[in-house]
Amino acid sequence: MQWLDWSNGKSVMRFIYYGASAELFFVCLAGFLLLTCVGMWRNSVLWMVVRSLEWVANTVGRMAAWAGLLMVLQQIVIVFVQRIFLEAQITFGLGVGLDKDISWYAEELKFYNAIIVCLCAAYTFVQGGHVRVDLVYAAVSYRTKKLIDMFGSLFFMIPAAILTWMYAWFFLWRHLITPKVSASDSLQRLVDGKSRAFKWNVETIGFSPNGFNAYFLFKVLLVVFCAMIILQAVAFFYRSYLEMKEGQASEGKYLDRDVLGDDQAVVV
């Protein structure tokens, strides 16, 4: 359990290496293939996986969507404090309050926007909210549509998310520790070399002197975004396979989509 001791440079370096390593990729690939084989034998297993992954995407997305309301309310507070009360700072909290310049709160609005983009992407996919170019897709048969969905999730969605993960993973850690790490570093170089000079160095530099200074959180969101897209791609692949196998009557089976209560809005 030494890898849990993050005060130890060697443990952190091992975690960084294996977090975006070929070993992790092949372990995940083996798990995916094993789960697929079991699911082809028992479709109920795949349906359980699909429902679980879609539940995660929906739950995280629905919670993250509230950041939109926080963004609007905070912008209203900023306008009132700055233009009506002519104050340069805002203090939140009781006892030990969060006392920051207005520019800090103004730049923080970008973080709320990043939460919505990164954490609601998979949720929007489940809800069918992404734009789709269907010049070919709309004209083909039901079975062909499912094959296209399976091919797209397996050869476009997952590889794109993995490539983004490879960039985002090391981009995150380069702003959390020193010495800086890169994808080209071997495990031996990280553990035996760079771990000796290991030091936490969380980046807290803003674009302006009094602006938002927790930009490392954007890098964390980027990593979470990649993980959720990969999981949703797996769920979409399995759903497409199951709907193709069970026929058109199973389309949308167990699909948890929001009900707007407005027929015209649903059509749009």
Record the pTM. 0.89
211 in any annotated domain: yes
89 in any annotated domain: no
- CB contact set of 108 (below 8 Å; sequence gap of 6+): 74, 212
The number of folded domains in the chain is 1
228 in any annotated domain: yes
Phi, psi of 179 (to 5 degrees): -70, 160
Q: Give the pLDDT confidence of 94-112 residue by residue, as tens digits.
A: 555 666 788 888 888 999 9
159 in any annotated domain: yes
76 in any annotated domain: no
Phi, psi of 35 (to 5 degrees): -65, -40
Q: What is the mean pLDDT of each run of 10 residues along the chain (268 residues)?
A: 68 91 94 94 93 96 94 89 73 64 85 95 90 79 92 94 95 91 90 88 76 87 96 96 91 84 57
Q: How far apart are CA 153 and CA 136, in angstroms?
A: 17
165 in any annotated domain: yes
Here the tokens at position 117 are: 């983009």
Domain region containing 234: 2-48+137-255
